[in-house]
Amino acid sequence: MDKPVSLSAVIITFNEENNIGRCLDSIREVADEIVVVDSFSTDATQKICLGHNVKFLQHPFEGHIEQKNYAVSCAGSDYVLSLDADEALSETLKQSILAAKKKWRCDGYDLNRRTNYCGRWIRHSGWYPDTKLRLWDRRKGRWGGLNPHDRVIMDDDCRVCHLAGDLYHYSYHTINDHVEQINRFSGIAARAAYGKGRHANLLLDIVFNPLLTFFKKYILKLGILDGYPGFMIAIHTAYGKFLKYIKLRELDKQPGD
């Protein structure tokens, strides 16, 4: 395809007043349309979005996958760029996306995501390069996976190319932010696994899985080279696994099961 394509950027939000402005500023050069689907924020998210001249919609939140697919369905173009509110494009990535728009050669494009953790950019720990597919033809792919760990799944015969440049991810401002998300996401993950018929094994899932997760993040994925943040990422990731499986075990033991 040699004709330039029109690109819709889609974002889901809930109480993202601290992040959404940065995200919107980073995509205005590459997006022909920006669609924000908000799950009834109670902060200044809506005001900020309307100040950036976006298509602002509100929709009940039924899950990360469901909300993101709904947002994609609201786009005016079949070519979509999907971002989280706490993400932003680097200058190199902007240029890569503009080049892809001019000569759309693939069905989807993936990219490297670089995470800022408590003020420091992480280069190891399994967090970089954290390759994500975020630019694609919506007729050939859709959000899938298992909540809250969503991912874009392309049709089997699709061609995926890689874009130069980083997607900046401003994840956690404080350790407390990380702990709060672990507690929230572990509950979502446990319920999703339970809905799929999964069960928690005391020895394998609750004891060994967190230990192996820490070893993988800190040693195999070189988290030790990220210093203290690398240690915190490894220990909190292991803790997240532990919480997921004890919550799943708790669901297993509900009355009537």
Task: List per-block mean pLDDT (blocks of 10 residues) for the chain, which spans 257 residues.
Answer: 88 97 98 98 98 97 97 98 98 98 97 97 96 98 95 97 98 94 96 93 95 97 97 97 96 73
Number of domains in the chain: 2
Q: How far from 138 is each of 10, 76, 143, 244, CA to CA, in Å?
A: 12, 11, 10, 32
Residue 2 has a CB neighbour count (10 Å cut-off) of 7
Same domain, 48 and 108: yes
- Do 182 and 120 lie in one domain? The reply is no
* Residue 213 to residue 238: CA distance in whole angstroms: 5
* Tokens 């800190």 -> residue: 218
N residues, the chain: 257
Task: Considering only the C-alpha atoms of the chain, give the largest distance between any 2 of them, rounded to a whole number of Å.
Answer: 61
Regarding whether 153 and 54 lie in a shared domain, the answer is: yes
Is residue 220 domain-shared with residue 133, that is, in the same domain? no
Same domain, yes or no, for 139 and 25? yes
Q: How far apart are the first and last CA of the chain?
A: 55
Q: pLDDT value at position 255?
A: 65
Residue (of 29, 67, 8, 25) closest to 170 by Cα position: 25
In this structure, the answer to whether residues 52 and 130 fall within a common structural domain is yes
The alpha-helical segments, DSSP class H, found in 8-149 are 20-27, 45-51, 64-73, 91-102
Choosing from 172, 201, 218, the residue where a domain stops is 172
64 and 160, same domain (yes or no): yes
Domain assignment present for 1: no
End residue of a domain, out of 122, 140, 172 = 172
Domain ends where: 113, 146, 172?
172
Whether 257 maps to a domain, the answer reads no
Q: Provide φ and ψ at 224, rounded to 5°.
A: -60, -25
pLDDT at 27: 98
Q: Are 140 and 245 in a shared domain? A: no
Q: Does residue 159 share a domain with residue 184?
A: no
Rounded Cα gap, residues 111 and 130, in angstroms: 8
Where b means 16+ CB within 10 Å and e means fewer, 9-27 reads bbbbbebbbebbbebbebb
Q: Of 87, 187, 102, nearest to 132 (Cα)?
A: 87
In a domain, 68, yes or no: yes
Please indicate, yes or no, whether residues 22 and 125 belong to a single structural domain of this protein. Answer: yes
CA–CA distance, 169 with 224 (Å, rounded to integer): 21
Tell me what pLDDT residue 254 has: 78
Does 129 sit behind a cis peptide bond, omega within 30 degrees of 0 on the bond before it?
yes
Strand bridging mode 7-13 / 33-38 = parallel
SS3 at position 247: helix
- Residue 34: name the closest of 102, 99, 82 by CA: 82
Parent domain of 83 = 7-172
Q: Residue 113 maps to which CATH number?
A: 3.90.550.10
| Token pair recorded at residue 128 | 């970089």
Domain shared by 120 and 132, yes or no? yes
pTM of the model: 0.90
**Is residue 2 a part of any domain in this protein?**
no
